Amino acid sequence: MSLDLNEALQTFFAESRGLLRDMEDALLRLEDAPDDADALNAVFRAAHTIKGSAGLFGLDAIVAFTHEAESVLDLARDGRLSVDDTVCGLLLQCKDHIELLLRQVESDEALAEDARRHGDSLTERLLKLHGQIDGADTGGKLAQLQPETVEPVPCNGPAQDGDVWHISLRFGSEVLRHGMDPASFIRYLGTFGRIARIVTVLDGVPKLADLDPECCHLGFEIQFRSDCDKQAIENAFEFVREDCQLRILPPGSRVQDYVRLIDELPGNKLRLGELLVACGAVTQRELDTALQEQQRADLRPPLGQVLVGDKVVRPEVVNAALNKQNEVRARQSQDAMFIRVHAEKLDALINQVGELVIAGAGVGLLAQRNKDSALQEAMSSMSRLVEDVRDGAMRLRMVEIGETFNRFRRVVRDVSKELGKEIELVITGAETELDKSVVERLGDPLTHLVRNAMDHGIEPTEVRAARGKPAQATIELAACHEAGHIVVEVRDDGGGLDRDRILAKAIERGLIDANAETQLPDAAVWNLIFEPGFSTASQISNLSGRGVGMDVVKRGIEALRGSVEIESAAGLGSTIRIRLPLTLAIIDGFLMRVADVHLVVPLDMVLECVEIGAGLPPGQDYFDLRGEVLPLLRLREHFALQGQPGRRQNVVIVKTLGRKAGLVVDELQGQFQAVIKPLGELFASARGLAGSTILGSGEVALVLDVPSLLDSAQRTHRGTGPRPAPLSKNATPGFIG
């Protein structure tokens, strides 16, 4: 048995997770627009597919539970159940429960008792919904599979027999190997109609000696009596849609249509004709006449046109079928567009590219030393290529942030229900890309921020009305690129931060001096909420307000070499802005030397370089840049470096997080691609250093962590206080003086 179940199971988990995500998206869409048939179908399809695949693996708990949800969805699709908020809410909970069941299977653990009870109560509610509509007995869980409950409402026409459809099926060779048996599909057909005639096509079966028992070579021609629509028949073959050729001729199709069917099917045309005759779809004479006619006819219009022209099918049926085809095509092309790659392989590739960059720099250095101009030229074109490869490799790891943002639709929905506030989530810049490892670690801080904004930021509806704001509040998640960083913003149009309450709390907690409060600029006040154990919520809700949110957020962001800042306007709302590096592995750096130590700053932080000769008086810690006063940081003194000072000194003007400062260094050495290696544990407490990198010459250079360098420099200059205060109260936020 070559089928590797474990591997298949992993695929099932991955696929189901994707389906559940689709299901959630569709449910949320459905909640906004209850008439959205596409969304409803998407939900149904997801549930149906999960149920089916779970069945293949014998995961009975998932099958049984999903089945109940599916039955309710089926009623909704038939228009017998209106989808309101309650139903959507229930279905969302069901989706969560399915997810839970999946996880439990994956981790091979028993279901926790409360989870089981929750599942039972959900099942009960589903059954109740079902029971209300059906009025019939819904006791047996699988009873709904029986025709008496699923059978569509008979339309006018012979109720018992229904119309005769012709179904032509050719299964793909992989069907059996995928764990599906054609027999089960045909049995399933029997649940909503009657198989009048069936001919099993064995023509494709090879000789016994050549027959691979795991390959399927079966085909069927079926005359099927049912009142259902074409969609229902197609849905019966949902699981094998990509693995079988399915052709359905509607009742009353003319002989020509069967001829076309014969044309489209592979294999001997005469033999196919015989099959159809055997099946009772056409008579031999009809077939002969039609075949002769066809030989005379030239170009034929597309099948759809003919069908509509002949009034065989209504245009909408054709449209529906076309949409279906397009959908399948889109899905297939999507499959072709993506490949699954193990993250480890990507990491290994990027590591190697990093080494390549270092090695390239080494060769470049040698070329320069030897003054071999031909080699230098060759080297420069190679290093350009290496750069391209590096960029390409980094892009492989880039993912759009939209997927992370979309998760919050559900969070916002649930929380706004819980709080009784009407909140809309607006997402902009969803296509902004950033490193996968950054995205993964961004989820938790963002969750904190969004919940916080909804809980504390957005006022209760009455207050909003009193303030003349629209009743529906808005939370906006936005992302954009900015100079080698990605900026993620969480905006709300709520009440803004309460300066007085934050100050009162800070004084109570001893975070600041009671006398200092009046002088603190707003930005410094807002930063107070990032202090550990700080919470101003007068009542603790189960969402936030336990005072563990914001400092965790800040630490999480800082661990990603990012930063957080807050803007707030009383009564208008607040914005929390997160800045993150695009990637954690390679940067374009600017190489400098102080004494005999090489230092690197990220190139995108460097604004300009100014030569100052020997000209600054010792101890002066500011710099006049064309009339703008900038703080100055002498790296030699800051890192207490010994060694011969350079003949002249340079100031490198850096800008980060809206702050500018000058770094005094001995020598400028130019642009350099730095592959950042983390510092060892020994240096964990060293502030101002982000990592190390290796130069082409084999020497080590230290990568400066500019924001924390500026912070610590400020602290040594100004002395006390958790947050250094800028020069004056009117200074722009974040400008250090």
Buried b (16+ CB within 10 A) or exposed e, 147-180: eebbebeeeeeeeeebbbbbbbbbbbeebbbeeb
Answer yes or no whether residue 193 interacts with another protein by CB under 8 A. yes
194 touching another protein, by CB under 8 A: yes
Scanning 77-85, 202-210, 288-296, 379-387 for contacts with another protein by CB under 8 A, the matching segment is 202-210
CB of 174 to another protein, least distance (A): 12
Side chain identity, residue 101: L
Given 18, 79, 140, 147, the residue binding another protein (CB under 8 A): 147
Q: Cβ(602)–Cβ(588) under 8 Å?
A: yes
Integer Cα distance of 473 and 457 in angstroms: 10
φ, ψ dihedrals at 587, nearest 5°: -130, 155
Residue 89 Cβ, how far from another protein at the closest point, in Å?
A: 33
Q: How far is the CB of 279 from another protein (least distance, A)?
A: 10
Cα–Cα nearest to 676, from 344, 328, 325, 435 = 435
Task: Using the minimum distance from each CB to another protein, give the nearer residue, 151 or 400.
Answer: 151
Q: Which two tokens stand for residue 681?
A: 């544990």
* Residue 181 within binding range of another protein, rule CB under 8 A: yes
Q: Which two tokens stand for residue 691?
A: 């990592």
| Residue of the chain from 119, 182, 556, 562 that contacts another protein (CB under 8 A) | 182
* CB-nearer residue toward another protein: 79 or 190: 190
Residues 607-636 that bind another protein (CB under 8 A): none
Q: What is the DSSP string of 27-86?
A: HHHHHH-TT-HHHHHHHHHHHHHHHHHHHHTT-HHHHHHHHHHHHHHHHHHTTSS---HH
Report the nearest approach of another protein to the CB of residue 193 (Å): 8
Number of shown-chain residues binding another protein (CB under 8 A): 34
Using CB under 8 A as the binding rule, whether residue 159 contacts another protein is answered as no
Residue 736 Cα to chain centre, angstroms: 38
Q: Binder to another protein among 8, 111, 198, 291 (CB under 8 A)?
A: 198
Q: Which of 486, 443, 411, 323 is nearest to 96 (CA)?
A: 411
Give the residue, chosen from 23, 39, 102, 216, that forms a contact with another protein under the rule CB under 8 A: 216
Cβ nearer to another protein, comparing 146 with 370: 146
| Neighbour tally for 347: CB within 10 Å | 14
Closest Cα partner for 226 from 180, 161, 173, 178? 161
Query: Given the complex with another protein, which of 176 and 657 has the nearer CB atom?
Result: 176
The interface region with another protein, picked from 190-198, 401-409, 410-418, 604-612 by CB under 8 A, is 190-198
Of these, 26, 176, 442, 601, which contacts another protein (CB under 8 A)?
176
The residues in 107-146 that bind another protein, with binding defined as CB under 8 A, are 145-146
CA angle 44, 47, 49 (to 5 degrees): 105
668: contact with another protein by CB under 8 A: no
CB-CB contact of 143 with 137 (8 Å):
yes
Q: Which of 110, 153, 209, 682 binds another protein (CB under 8 A)?
A: 209
C-alpha dihedral sign at 361, 364, 370, 371: negative
Only segment of 97-105, 206-214, 522-530, 677-685 that touches another protein (CB under 8 A): 206-214
Q: Quick check: 734 and 659 in contact, CB under 8 A?
A: yes
Contact 511, 525 (CB under 8 A): no
- Nearest distance, CB of residue 278 and another protein, angstroms: 10
| Alpha carbons 258 and 288: distance in angstroms, whole number | 12
CA–CA distance, 183 with 166 (Å, rounded to integer): 17
Part in contact with another protein (CB under 8 A); list of ranges 213-221, 309-317, 571-579, 677-685: 213-221
Which tokens belong to 124? 């009960």
Tell the residue number behind the tokens 């909420």, with chain if given.
Answer: 529
Site map 218..257 versus another protein, x via CB under 8 A: x-x-------------------------------------
User: Cα(58)–Cα(328) distance, rounded to whole angstroms?
Assistant: 27
Q: Which of 207, 296, 369, 647 binds another protein (CB under 8 A)?
A: 207
User: In the complex, what is the shortest distance from the CB of residue 45 to another protein, in angstroms, rounded to a whole number?
Assistant: 22
* Residue 64 identity: A
Q: How far is CA 631 from CA 51, 662, 710, 728, in A?
A: 64, 6, 9, 14
Nearest-angstrom CA–CA distance, 93 and 655: 48
Name the residue with tokens 């299964």: 171
Decide: is 208 part of the binding site for another protein (CB under 8 A): yes
The torsion defined by the Cα of 247, 252, 256 and 262, in degrees rounded to 10, comes to 30
Instruction: Tell me the CA distances in angstroms from 181 to 67, 175, 216, 642, 696, one per residue in order.
Output: 20, 7, 9, 79, 62
Among 18, 140, 157, 206, binds another protein (CB under 8 A): 206
Alpha helices per DSSP H over 397-469: 402-419, 436-452, 461-466
- Rounded least distance, CB 275 to another protein, Å: 12
Q: Which stretch binds another protein (CB under 8 A): 181-189, 351-359, 485-493, 632-640?
A: 181-189
If the CB atoms of residues 129 and 276 are measured against another protein, the closer one turns out to be 276
User: How far is residue 9's CA from residue 54's CA, in Å, rounded to a whole number?
Assistant: 9
End-to-end CA distance of the chain: 73
In whole angstroms, how close is the CB of 274 to another protein at the nearest point? 14
Smallest separation (angstroms) from another protein to the CB of 216: 6
Give me 229's structure tokens.
């629509």
Query: Between residues 141 and 177, which has the closer beta carbon with respect to another protein?
Result: 177
Beta-carbon contacts of 190 under 8 Å, excluding residues fewer than 6 positions away, are: none
697 counts as binding another protein under rule CB under 8 A? no
**Minimum gap (Å) between residue 158 Cβ and another protein:** 15
Q: How far is CA 533 from CA 503, 511, 562, 721, in A?
A: 14, 11, 21, 17
DSSP 8-state code for residue 454: I
**Judged by CB under 8 A, does residue 273 bind another protein?**
no
The nearer residue to another protein, 63 or 350, going by C-beta atoms, is: 63
**What is the closest distance, in whole angstroms, from the C-beta atom of residue 11 to another protein in the complex?**
19
Under 8 Å CB-to-CB from 314, ≥6 apart: which residues?
308
CB of 157 to another protein, least distance (A): 17
Smallest distance from the beta carbon of 55 to another protein, in angstroms? 14
Please identify, among the stretches 185-193, 526-534, 571-579, 632-640, the one whose residues bind another protein according to the rule CB under 8 A.
185-193
* Closer by beta carbon to another protein, 1 or else 339: 1
- Shortest approach of another protein to residue 207 CB, angstroms? 6
Looking at the Cβ atoms of 207 and 626, the one nearer to another protein is 207
Q: Does 186 bind another protein (CB under 8 A)?
A: yes
Nearer to another protein, 206 or 571 (CB): 206
From the list 18, 140, 190, 443, which residue makes contact with another protein (rule: CB under 8 A)? 190
Give the residue, chosen from 188, 437, 593, 641, that forms a contact with another protein under the rule CB under 8 A. Answer: 188
Angle between helix 60-77 and 113-134 (nearest 10): 30
In this complex, which beta carbon is closest to another protein, that of residue 278 or of residue 426? 278
The DSSP call for residue 147 is H
Give the interface segment with another protein, choosing from 184-192, 300-308, 368-376, 457-465 (CB under 8 A): 184-192
Residues that bind another protein (CB under 8 A): 1, 145-147, 176-177, 181-183, 186-188, 190-191, 193-195, 197-200, 202, 205-209, 211, 213-214, 216-218, 220
